[in-house]
Structure 1
Amino acid sequence: MNSIVEALAGGVTADQLERLELPAEYTAAHLRVEDVDMFRGVTDKDVRKSLRVGPVPMPDLAPDEVLVAVMASSINYNTVWSAMFEPIPTFRFLRQYAKEGGWAARHDLPYQVVGSDGAGVIVRVGSGVRRWRSGDHVVLSPAYVDDQEPGTHGDGMLGSEQRAWGFETNFGGLAHFAVVRASQLIPKPAHLTWEEAACNTLCAGTAYRMLVGERGARLKQGDVVLIWGAVGGLGAYAVQFVKNGGGISVGVVGSAQKAEALRKLGCDVVIDRNEIGLGDDAGDDPEHVIRVGKRLGAIIRREVGEDPNIVFEHVGRATFGISVFVVRRGGVVVTCGSSTGYQHRYDNRYLWMKLKRVIGSHVANLQEQWECNRLIGLGRIMPTMSALYPLAEVGEAARLVQTNQHIGKVAVLCLAPEPGLGVTDPGLRARIGVDRLNPLGSFETVQAGAGRS
């Protein structure tokens, strides 16, 4: 292990890297199948109790896969779901996938290595990999697709066998090593550190598809976009895409500190959820939904002069009915998740009689990820990291997201021995400006602990 870390730090050649012996085991954040009932009857399903960090066996590579030495990763809400074993234990996904046989059978194990983001260095390539080689610096898309399935060639996200890597598969990114398909690889932006680069792929790619891509809301100049949770992992990228695309951003957040962070991102209109009387149970009472919707709509019209063209929706049960109500006639609600609950209630009259649309969106296909990555590489979209933890404290990092105490993204150092490494184009970094590259850096939520910054 140390020889690989030292070799990567010293700029080893691809041939030299491939000759280094891989460890039989590696350190990973993982869940154990024997723990799936640990939260039964428990109100606070504290993910610090279920996420383990320790050795797991090194898996073999399929011909279309690569092994990546993960320098850094980040926390996404799907890891929180996995660690709570909700809505179902993700071991069921592994068993279902393993039924395909062949290489898929490796994934059905009594443990699951979780994590759906990563930035690192390729250390091995499968025999069928053509466009990548050992030593390449990459970031990892969470979209795990079957390239032999017809639907994948129309849109990678429409294939029936599309899965979320590290959530519906094993060998995820919160670890020293990760196994991914070659179709998940994207060049790492050269001006970013490992931890900055590791924060982007899942959330930035998801927001790009929702707002900019042809299969999403197709944001255009002047569009008013309402963004729930506007300084969370997804929302902070949504604000940037709206601003970058000439739209007018309206962000909703839940505290004065988050409102300050949102203004620093350049959001045009900032609304505190307490101002509109929004609680976590707001979606359960249809009359309350309309009252909140009217208050929210009045604020947006006062500040902007018109109703939203687009609502960026990922909160779910607590906000979905309000989103359908408040978006303008002919407008679009685009949704990618339901962190407050999957069962939504809304008044359908406001959908059909005002010709509104609801678009379901999930992650991003590889082309969309590359387009998004290009904007990051040009310095048009910035990382949203505000906290950094060592892998040994991944439970604390995930708990921060579970309790919604985070701003932007929570990064995790894996093999990188310290923050600030991985930049291969310092000139571009200097031209963009370090302050611009870390718009949420001053809103760091934690201080103590080795490896945090």
Structure 2
Amino acid sequence: MDPLAEAALAGAGPEELGRIPVPEEYPAVHLRVEDVDMFAGQDQDERDVRKSLRLGRVPMPELAPDEVLIAVMSSAMNYNTVWSAMFLPVPTFAFLRHFGRQGGWAARHDQPHHVLGSDAAGVVVRVGSGVRRWKVGDHVVVSASYVDDQDPATHSDGMLDADQRAWGFETNFGSLAHYAVARANQLLPKPAHLTWEEAASNLLCGGTAYRMLVSHRGAQIKQGDVVLIWGATGGLGAYAAQLVRNGGGIAVGVVGGESKVEAARRLGCEVVINREEIGLGGSTDQAEAGKRLGRAIRGAVGEDPHVVFEHVGRATFGISVFVVRRGGVVVTCGSSTGYRHEYDNRYLWMKLKRVIGSHGANLQEMAEFNRLVALGRVQSALNEVFPLEESAEAARLVQTNRHVGKIAVLGLAPHAGLGVTDPELRARIGETSVAPLRAVATARG
């Protein structure tokens, strides 16, 4: 560990941090451009991300005027890292090349290595000359929404920025490392009652779920709404369930095995459906699967769902369109099982249903979600913690859906449990309630 990292970990003040030189290199989990064809000819399921993810030292980039350098105490694993490591649907080096062609500061991103990671909690150790709201020594979490605040559309909704990117996926210098570079307009205060790894696990998935369900740009759930949540114990679903419960809705969670049923209930699902028990797998006819799922939901709550929280994609999208009630909403933010969907359009147009596309969240939505976390109204979905050296194993668990909730990856933090600066709030919430999934054992079948 270099002297600046040691000082940040020890809680050094701004003056001391400012005096210590920034290292020329740092450890980071990254992809190499020479590996992009390593899975050529292989299907998605055959591409083992442990073969492509590398841990090694990379050069420290120069800081732009609107950026900060963060000493990363913890990051978290997201499915976009899995996509990157599979080199699907295209190698992310294409994103870096496209960004780099803008010239100026963007040119730094076009490198023969791609540092991944889109969630972080850490300490600001440098600020660019144009940064106003943040200072060295601040404890922060990082939004993955990488937007240009000089684009007029950003001031309506950052996600409408034509040049909007996902940090650490479509940009370089992400969070699975000892250091990360982020724009100042990505930062929010770290919830003081959480550990580094708990805080790092929230923002990307939680902010995305907030926009999908709560924001006026999403489904705008209300009291009493029945909300079907696919993957209710995954990163996105874990926050969706809490937001539905907190908003007075009825969360109906679908999970992939009996081992995940209790976890879904802990998160606030009133009804939990094990997809294996009603035959929602493989190449099942989606209309028939939708009928079985609809009967199960009506049997439990008496009516069809108002909203379907969709991110699985190809394997479930046709079912989602079928099962949502007349006039209902399917809100989608991803396609972990494939981007090309098939559905029967009659059930969409004739029953006046809607599909809403949702991507990430703007800074205000992220801030609103982060406030709920900071108040203790939404709890961290953290389940497991891995050291940086085992990032590839963590990514493989997410790739094969053998995880519950969120997996954190420690950066500079030497072990879990560090970073709490408001122990009183933590005590009021309760140690076992702050991250309720930590007590859930994960089956590795």
User: Paired residue for 1:320?
Assistant: 317
1:302-317 maps to which residues of 2 (within 5 A)? 302-317=299-314
Tell me how many residue pairs correspond in the alignment. 442
User: Paired residue for 2:107?
Assistant: 105
For 1:96 and 1:122, locate their aligned partners in 2 and report how far apart those are by CA, in whole Å.
Answer: 28
Render the CA deviation track for 1:81-119: whole Å, top value 9, x for unaligned: 000000100000000001111000000000000000000
User: Paired residue for 1:404?
Assistant: 401
**Structure 1 position 361 matched with structure 2 position 358:** yes
For 1:446 and 1:175, locate their aligned partners in 2 and report how far apart those are by CA, in whole Å.
Answer: 28
Aligned residue type for 2:302:
G
For 1:170 and 1:184, locate their aligned partners in 2 and report how far apart those are by CA, in whole Å.
Answer: 15
For 1:38 and 1:109, locate their aligned partners in 2 and report how far apart those are by CA, in whole Å.
Answer: 19
- TM (norm. structure 2) is 0.98
User: Paired residue for 2:15?
Assistant: 15
Q: SS at the partner of 2:153?
A: helix
For 1:130 and 1:220, locate their aligned partners in 2 and report how far apart those are by CA, in whole Å.
Answer: 37
1:46-445 maps to which residues of 2 (within 5 A)? 46-282=48-284, 288-445=285-442
For 1:300 and 1:394, locate their aligned partners in 2 and report how far apart those are by CA, in whole Å.
Answer: 38
Shift of residue 8, structure 1, vs aligned partner: 2.2
Determine if contact 1:223/1:309 at 8 Å carries over to the other structure: yes
For 1:191 and 1:5, locate their aligned partners in 2 and report how far apart those are by CA, in whole Å.
Answer: 22
Determine if contact 2:259/2:443 at 8 Å carries over to the other structure: no
For 1:354 and 1:176, locate their aligned partners in 2 and report how far apart those are by CA, in whole Å.
Answer: 51
Q: SS at the partner of 1:317?
A: coil
For 1:332 and 1:278, locate their aligned partners in 2 and report how far apart those are by CA, in whole Å.
Answer: 21
Determine if contact 1:73/1:174 at 8 Å carries over to the other structure: yes
Determine if contact 1:116/1:166 at 8 Å carries over to the other structure: yes
Q: SS at the partner of 2:268?
A: coil
Aligned residue type for 2:161:
G
Q: Which structure 2 segments of 5+ residues have no match?
A: none
For 2:406 and 2:11, locate their aligned partners in 1 and report how far apart those are by CA, in whole Å.
Answer: 29
The Cα RMSD (Å) is 1.1
Q: SS at the partner of 1:355?
A: coil
Q: SS at the partner of 1:251?
A: strand
Q: Choose 34-43 or 51-60, whichever is displaced more.
A: 34-43
Aligned residue type for 1:25:
E
**% identity of equivalent residues:** 70
For 2:131 and 2:443, locate their aligned partners in 1 and report how far apart those are by CA, in whole Å.
Answer: 41
Shift of residue 9, structure 1, vs aligned partner: 3.5
Determine if contact 1:189/1:373 at 8 Å carries over to the other structure: yes
Determine if contact 2:8/2:125 at 8 Å carries over to the other structure: no
For 1:214 and 1:423, locate their aligned partners in 2 and report how far apart those are by CA, in whole Å.
Answer: 33
For 2:283 and 2:371, locate their aligned partners in 1 and report how far apart those are by CA, in whole Å.
Answer: 39
Q: SS at the partner of 1:428?
A: helix
Shift of residue 290, structure 1, vs aligned partner: 1.2
Q: SS at the partner of 1:234?
A: helix
For 1:250 and 1:42, locate their aligned partners in 2 and report how far apart those are by CA, in whole Å.
Answer: 36
Shift of residue 446, structure 1, vs aligned partner: 8.7
Shift of residue 150, structure 1, vs aligned partner: 1.4
For 2:345 and 2:123, locate their aligned partners in 1 and report how far apart those are by CA, in whole Å.
Answer: 49
For 1:9 and 1:345, locate their aligned partners in 2 and report how far apart those are by CA, in whole Å.
Answer: 50
